[in-house]
Amino acid sequence: MKSTRTQVCIVGGGPSGLLLAQLLHSKGIDSIVLERTTRDYVLSRIRAGVLEQGLLGLMEEAGVGQRMRQQGIPHDGTLISYGDEKFRIDFAKHAGMPVMVYGQTEVTRDLYDAREATGGAIEFNVEHVKIHDADTDKPSVRFQVAGEAREILCDFVAGCDGFHGVSRKTIPENVRKEYEKVYPFGWLGVLSETPPVDHELIYANSKRGFALCSMRNANLSRYYIQCSAHDKVENWSDDAFWSELKRRIPQETAAKLVTGPSIEKSIAPLRSFVTEPMRWGRLFLCGDAAHIVPPTGAKGLNTAASDVHYLYQGLRQFYESGDKEGIDHYSQRALARVWKVERFSWWFSSLMHRFPDQSDFDHKMQVAELEFLRSNDAAQKAMAENYVGLPY
Ligand code: APR
Ligand code: PHB
């Protein structure tokens, strides 16, 4: 079996793994990324496109911020509607910073380009990945590529392989504790080459269910409507989607909605999930491998970024000074922020969606909370600070 040695073996070539690899490279720390699929497959996945300043800072630190600076769209606020009512949360006023609208696919593309430009080692189409001896100081990762058995000998393993990866399950069940909430609905998303209906995002609460009007650029819009958790894409023609979306947003907004053929249409389930701890020996979990949030607050990639920040700082400290303080406190530091983000995503999802067992009183409670948010600066400040991103 062919053995290769590196300092950090990164399982998973999504945004978490790629960002960590590029940051480590910027400090001369070697890594190898193992990706189950291919670059094109990873880039084919459509994901949210709202980036926190923390992620922007990490991309700049990794030397990958140029295209994002040129093509990203800063947003100083977001709109929230309920029925025909609409109000704005002013990020600049309440949180002193904007978010950046820039597709996750573009973040991942920029990271792949940077890895290739800097000679970063990535193995694609890996199979049968198995992490060995993570609870020793000589971990290794075995896998196959095109039927050939391979082995990576390393100092550390970063489990960046998403919710369905192998890293989390490498931690023994009697060590792991998992927390989960599955929401009784999904999101039906459509991408269309049409101008966005507004210059900011619109999160809509309606008696018919949640809707979201988002965008990628001036001629590429992303829309979502809440649907049954058991719904199927084939149940939704484009016309049916547009008609339902118009029923869930304020009529003056619906009147100016430009519709068009969907170039992508998909349904995503909603869940909140956290596994503790995020570290076992020399194995560190990052991103979706450790936690999942409902997309309502656009926190998936942004929380993966804060994990990467804590792990990068810990590994950098270890290699620069031998100090293990950062890696020994990684799980505790990452989870402290993860749980705050889980709370915000759960709060915003609970506020904006129609639950199957929701009574008229329950809906009145949602409207009362939206009215309070609309009228109270402290409530708006709390929302804005969570939305733009809590400090690392
Ligand atoms: N071996 C190697 N690679 C694997 C394995 C495995 N056993 N299992 C999964 N992978 C790969 C997947 O193919 C995927 O490319 O790991 C990668 C994990 O990427 P994501 O699921 O995107 O997770 P992450 O990088 O943590 O991204 C977190 O960005 O992509 C979004 O929805 C995601 O918002 C979340 C954030
Ligand atoms: C998106 O543009 O896909 C998007 C934006 C904000 C969200 C979720 C998804 O909260």
Q: What tens digit of pLDDT does each residue of 126-171 get?
A: 999 999 999 999 999 999 999 999 999 999 999 999 999 999 999 9
Same domain, 145 and 64: yes
Is-catalytic flag, 387?
Answer: yes
Domain range enclosing 113: 2-73+99-180+271-348
**Is 96 exposed, middle or buried, given 0-12, 13-18 or 19+ CB atoms closer than 10 A?**
exposed
Total-model pTM: 0.97
pLDDT value at residue 300 = 97
Is residue 202 very low, low, confident or very high in pLDDT (cuts 50, 70, 90)?
Answer: very high
Q: Which residues contact 66 (CB under 8 A, 6 or more apart)?
A: none
Same domain, 341 and 207: no
Asked whether residue 323 carries a pLDDT value surpassing 90, the answer given is yes
Does residue 92 lie within any of the structural domains?
Answer: no
Q: Is the CB of 295 under 6 A from ligand 2?
A: yes
Ligand 2 atom with the shortest distance to the CA of 297: 10
Same domain, 7 and 139: yes
Ramachandran region of residue 316, left (φ > 0), alpha (ψ -120 to 50) or beta?
alpha
Q: Is the CB of 22 under 6 A from ligand 2?
A: no
Tokens of 273: 């999930």
Percent of the chain surpassing pLDDT 70: 100
Does residue 189 lie within any of the structural domains?
Answer: yes
Sheet of 8-11, strands arranged across? 121-123, 31-34, 8-11, 156-159, 283-285, 279-280
pLDDT value at residue 43 = 92
- What are the pLDDT digits (tens) for 69-113? 999 999 999 999 999 999 999 999 999 999 999 999 999 999 999
Contact between residue 27 and residue 316 where contact means Cβ atoms under 8 Å apart: yes
Tokens of 284: 């560190």
Is-catalytic flag, 203?
Answer: yes
pLDDT value at residue 45 = 82
Is residue 47 very low, low, confident or very high in pLDDT (cuts 50, 70, 90)?
Answer: confident
Specify the residue with its C-alpha closest to ligand 2, atom 5. Answer: 48
Q: Please give all residues whose beta carbon lies within 6 A of any atom in ligand 1, as ranges.
A: 11-17, 34-37, 42, 47, 104, 126, 129, 160-162, 164-166, 287-288, 300-301, 304
Distance 168 CA to ligand 1 centre (A): 12
Point out the ligand nearest to the CA of residue 210: 2
Does residue 341 lie within any of the structural domains?
Answer: yes
Tokens of 236: 């939704």
| Count of the separate structural domains present in the chain | 2
pLDDT value at residue 46 = 77
Same domain, 295 and 194: no
Does residue 93 lie within any of the structural domains?
Answer: no
Rounded mean pLDDT, 361-366: 96
Contact between residue 75 and residue 123 where contact means Cβ atoms under 8 Å apart: no
- What are the pLDDT digits (tens) for 3-43? 999 999 999 999 999 999 999 999 999 999 999 999 999 99
The residue from 291, 299, 309, 353 that is catalytic is 299
pLDDT value at residue 354 = 98
Distance 333 CA to ligand 1 centre (A): 22
- What are the pLDDT digits (tens) for 209-255? 999 999 999 999 999 999 999 999 999 999 999 999 999 999 999 99
Same domain, 44 and 192: no
Does residue 364 lie within any of the structural domains?
Answer: yes
